[in-house]
Structure 1
Amino acid sequence: MGRWQPGARERLERAALDLFLDQGFTETTVPQITARAGLTTRTFFRHFADKREVLFAGEHLVPEQVARLLAEAPPSLGPMDLITEGLAPAAAEVFQGRGLDHLLRRRAAIDAEPALRERELRKYSLMSEALEKGFRDRGVDDLTARLAAEIAVTAFRVAVTRWLDRNGDPDLPTTIGQTLAAVRHLTSPQA
């Protein structure tokens, strides 16, 4: 078993996803993951608290990242402009950085396990709460802050789903832009 080899985290993620897809999340053990990756169990726990964290690592950072993005945005931007000009591009960058293949495999593993789908919804709930707080901190009234946060998260979820369903075509920023344009159209007087 390799010690201190570069790319250990990525190898563990790849091995875990392979096993989750081959035999199911519940049936997969950490020792199986580390054996497939050619690493030790100790190395696994250096990178992840448990096997769920392979799929949800970094989720605890979402509120902090959202707060930072909203705090750094120009004060003149309203909620929808913030979503369109700041949050959507930042989210697209984070997601695309993971790679389409990884995200498709991750989604398949999550879709196969009800407890993981619940955890995925929790992630979006945390994002919505962080956005709502961030909008309120910018002086947006409670109702508008709540609506803007829910619209942002829903639009993002729909866009990512469409992007993955289309195998990455068009790119994620374009798909998010199309989704936000549809939201704007729905709320326009002509709709």
Structure 2
Amino acid sequence: MVRWEPDAAGRLRRAAAELFVERGVEATTVAAIAERAGVTERTFFRHFADKREVLFGDGVRFTSLFVDPVRDAPPDASPLDAVAAGVRASAAFFPDERRADSRIRGRIIADNPGLQERELLKMDAIAASIADALRERGVPDPAATIVARAGVAVFSAAFVAWLREDETREMGELIEDGLRELRAIAS
């Protein structure tokens, strides 16, 4: 009998990434991921709805990194300042020790149009949630939608830069650069 090992979800993520790189997403089965991780398929489905979900993780938690600071911003904060607080907070999700795994994930997504679409939909949902939080603060449309999408664009540009092989700056620095660019464009 196999001895229980901790962090089944982490082992499943690592096994899936390895197999996606080796075989491609479409050729990789849940059974193969579970076998490589040393768990059963049943355990896989306790953690993830499908094999693609391994790459996207906890969307609610990730979205809250952006949205909670917008809701918690001081009442007199401008819409851009509130969104900037959310974009800054997202940097905590990307410490430098996650960069290598994030680069692998990025390559897997770049090689699969279906995963690219899912990534875009995820970021679109985050922008919509940020816009909702701005509306709760009394920011009318189209301003709420525009500034929310601008914040997501800053995050996305910083993330793409952070994934580059030659990039050494931290995610927070890249976000600050993007926010400065946005403010310069807006002024």
TM norm. shorter chain > 0.5: yes
Offset, 1:187: 2.2
Q: Which string of whole-angstrom CA distances, capped at 9 and with x for unpartnered residues, describes residues 2-56 of structure 1?
A: 4642121111100000000111001100110111112111111111111111011
Q: Does 1:137 align with 2:131?
A: no
Runs of 5+ in structure 2 lacking a partner? none
Q: Which string of whole-angstrom CA distances, capped at 9 and with x for unpartnered residues, describes residues 43-75 of structure 1?
A: 111111111110112124455554433222211
Q: Number of aligned pairs?
A: 187
- The 3-state SS of whatever aligns with 1:75 is coil
Q: Does 1:113 align with 2:112?
A: yes
Task: Tell me, yes or no, if the aligned pair for 1:88 and 1:173 is still in contact at 8 Å.
Answer: no
C-alpha spacing 1:45/1:3, structure 2 compared with 1 (3 Å) = farther
Of stretches 3-12 and 21-30 in structure 1, the one that deviates more from structure 2 is: 3-12
Task: Tell me, yes or no, if the aligned pair for 2:66 and 2:126 is still in contact at 8 Å.
Answer: yes
Q: Percent of aligned positions with the same letter in both sequences?
A: 37
What is the correspondence of 1:21-32 to structure 2 with a 5 Å cutoff? 21-32=21-32
* Inter-partner Cα distance in structure 1 for 2:184 and 2:67: 28
TM-score by length of 1: 0.90
Letter in 1 for 2:42: R
Runs of 5+ in structure 1 lacking a partner? none
Partner of 1:48: 48
Offset, 1:89: 2.3
Q: Which string of whole-angstrom CA distances, capped at 9 and with x for unpartnered residues, describes residues 131-174 of structure 1?
A: 11111110112121111011001111011001111555110000
C-alpha spacing 1:135/1:13, structure 2 compared with 1 (3 Å) = same
C-alpha spacing 1:47/1:137, structure 2 compared with 1 (3 Å) = same
